[in-house]
Amino acid sequence: MTVARGDDSQIDALVVVVEPYPRSAEVGRRLLEMAEAKGITRRVVVANKVTGDDDLVAIRAWLGVDPDIVIPEDRGVSSADRAGASPMDHAPDSDAVGALRELATSLLV
């Protein structure tokens, strides 16, 4: 189901993942606007591949909201990808995997 066709009765939560690039943030901003117009109130904004405070400042400026979860750029994730493995298995103690666990926990509430 896409946000364009759904409404608040069909969507429990909308997770919007943005990376610190203008085009990614533009898509994220449009999704958030669409969700608001459709009455989807549970929205989780995830900033992905964040390398530092400059990335967060840019994402906040582009979206107009603070991310709920920040997933840092993490060599463990790219290493897992090269190995054809899940980051959860390959680098379970990495910062990115910790942030993914936080995201999963937030969605269970």
How many angstroms separate the CA atoms of 77 and 94, rounded? 8
pLDDT in tens, 59-78: 999 999 999 999 999 998 99
**What is the pTM assigned to this prediction?**
0.86
pLDDT given at position 13? 85
C-alpha distances in Å from residue 20, one per residue of 17, 26, 79, 89: 10, 10, 21, 26
Query: 44: which strand partners?
Result: 15
pLDDT in tens, 38-67: 888 899 999 999 999 999 999 999 999 999
Closest by CA to 8, choosing from 43, 59, 51, 53, is 43
How many angstroms separate the CA atoms of 23 and 19, rounded? 9
Sequence ranges of the domains in the chain: 1-71, 74-109
